[in-house]
A and B are shown apart, each in its own frame.
Chain A
Amino acid sequence: MEGSGTSRLEAFSDGVFAIAATLLVLAFTATASDDLGSQLLHLWPAYLAYATSFLTIGIIWINHHFCVEKMARADRTLMFLNLLLLMTVGFLPFPTRLVAESIQKHAGERPAVLAYAATFVLMAVIYNAWWRYASRGRRLIREEVPDSAVRAISRAFDPGVPMYGVTFVVAFWSPIVSVMLTFAIAAFYLPSAALFDRVTE
């Protein structure tokens, strides 16, 4: 199996992260009406979905950045897993728009939020597989990276799938709470990620 540096993998990934995050703005639609002000206030589900998706993509990008930094090379399997991850990231603007529109119109919230949560679950599963593949037996890890640093990252990956699984289940009961929970996860992952960084020192 060939090995190669990680720079093109990073450039390609950064492009997809950036475009997906920027396309999220297309979730906003205002119809022609006299009262734009109240319409802008009623757009709150769109603001929530936009912020949630943008922050989540930002966090995935930040963590991607720190994980790839620990790798000496990328092989074909990692690139394939990376592609699957980017596929779910690039898909995110679509369920984001569904969530924004369905909550505004009070129609179809449940299937929309289920689609949203399912996308996050899939993303978390693939992201986990991506890191497990790279770190199992230190397959792609740089020699100078201590074992403790690799373990700390693995620990930080652990809660991802169960947490997004919870948002999926909650969506059956209350779609809006599910989206707020997803937002909370993004808000939670930031300091926690900073925390696991410090553990590695």
Chain B
Amino acid sequence: MEESGTNRLEIFSDGVFAIAATLLVLEFAVNTRAGAPSLGYQLLHQLWPSYLAYATSFLTIGIIWINHHHVMETIVRVDRTFLFINTLLLLVVAFIPFPTRLVAHYLGISGELDAVYAYGVTLLLMAVLFNVLWAYASRNRRLISEDMPEAQVRAVTLAAGIGVSLTALILLLATWTPVGAVIFAFAVSAFYLPGAARFDRS
């Protein structure tokens, strides 16, 4: 199996994370046709699903980027299988702007359940692929740097596993309240920020 450094993988992945996060803004749209509600009303009253969806997706991409960064710090090399799983993960990350737009447009009106399902499935897929990526890298410390303590490897495994359960909860919640599910997704991302910082210290 070939070995290679991780530099280009990081540049490519960072590019996808950054661009996906930046494309999220394209979901914001105001109605400029004659007879449309005033701009102020639209911005303050009608666009709240867009703000919620934007903040949730942006924070989620940011956190997966931080965690990706952390994973790359613990490994010393990459092989082709790792690159392939990483490509699948990025495929899902780059897809996020689409379900985000669906949530922004459909929350509060008919079709919101399908929109939130699409959003939740995407986030779940991302969490699962992140786990697969980490499981591949950490199985028998395959790609892990020698000076990385075992406790820290286990901490990442635990945090990644929790991510999958929390994301699955978003889907379950959606059947009961789609709006609540998106707010929960936002809370998960807000929770994961300090959480990530904490497992760093361990």
Q: How far is the CB of A187 from chain B (nearest CB, A)?
A: 11
Pick the interface stretch among B4-12, B180-188, B191-199. Answer: B4-12
Contact check, B102 vs A36: say whether CB atoms are below 8 A apart.
yes
B12 is contacted by which of A34, A61, A198, A200 (Cβ under 8 Å)? A61
Determine whether the beta carbon of A55 is less than 8 Å from that of B87: yes
- Interface: B28 (CB within 8 A): no
Q: Is the CB of B118 within 8 A of A25?
A: no
Describe A's contact surface by its main secondary structure: helix
- Chain B residue contacts of A59, Cβ below 8 A: 87
- Which residues between 83 and 118 of chain B lie within 8 Å of chain A, taking CB atoms? 83-84, 87, 90-91, 94-98, 101-102, 105-106, 110-111, 113-115, 117-118
Q: For the complex, is B81 an interface residue (Cβ under 8 Å from A)?
A: yes
Q: Which of B13, B23, B91 contacts A54 (CB 8 A)?
A: B91
B87's nearest neighbour on chain A, judged by CB, is: A58
B95 touches A50 (CB 8 A): yes
In the complex where A22-B15, A36-B115 touch, is A198 in contact with B1 (Cβ < 8 A)?
yes
State the CA gap A50–B105 with chains docked (Å).
22
Cα A69 to Cα B5 in complex, Å, equals 10
A66 to B2, Cβ gap below 8 A?
yes
A22-B94 CB under 8 A given contacts A30-B102, A34-B111: yes
B10 to chain A, nearest CB (A): 9
Which residues on A sit within 8 Å (CB–CB) of B90?
A: 21, 54, 58
Sorting the interface of chain A by its residue count into under 10, 10 to 19, 20 to 34 or 35 or more gives 35 or more
A118 lies within 8 A of chain B by Cβ: no
Contact status B20-A22, CB under 8 Å:
yes
The answer to whether B19 and A36 have CB atoms under 8 Å apart is no
Instruction: State whether the Cβ of A1 lies closer than 8 Å to any Cβ in chain B.
Output: no
Chain A CB within 8 A of B70 CB: no
A40 within 8 A of B: yes
Q: Given contact pairs A30-B101, A37-B111, enumerate 20 new A-B contacts (beta carbons under 8 Å).
A: A14-B11, A15-B11, A17-B15, A18-B12, A18-B14, A19-B15, A23-B19, A25-B96, A26-B23, A36-B110, A40-B118, A50-B91, A54-B90, A54-B94, A61-B87, A62-B83, A62-B84, A66-B4, A69-B4, A200-B2
What are 9 residue pairs bridging A and B, where the CB atoms are less than 8 Å apart in the complex? A17-B15, A22-B16, A22-B23, A25-B23, A25-B96, A54-B87, A58-B91, A197-B1, A197-B80
- Where the two chains meet, the residues of A that have a C-beta atom closer than 8 Å to any C-beta of B are 10-11, 14-15, 17-19, 21-26, 28, 30, 32-37, 40, 50-51, 54-55, 58-59, 61-62, 65-66, 69, 190, 193-194, 197-198, 200-201
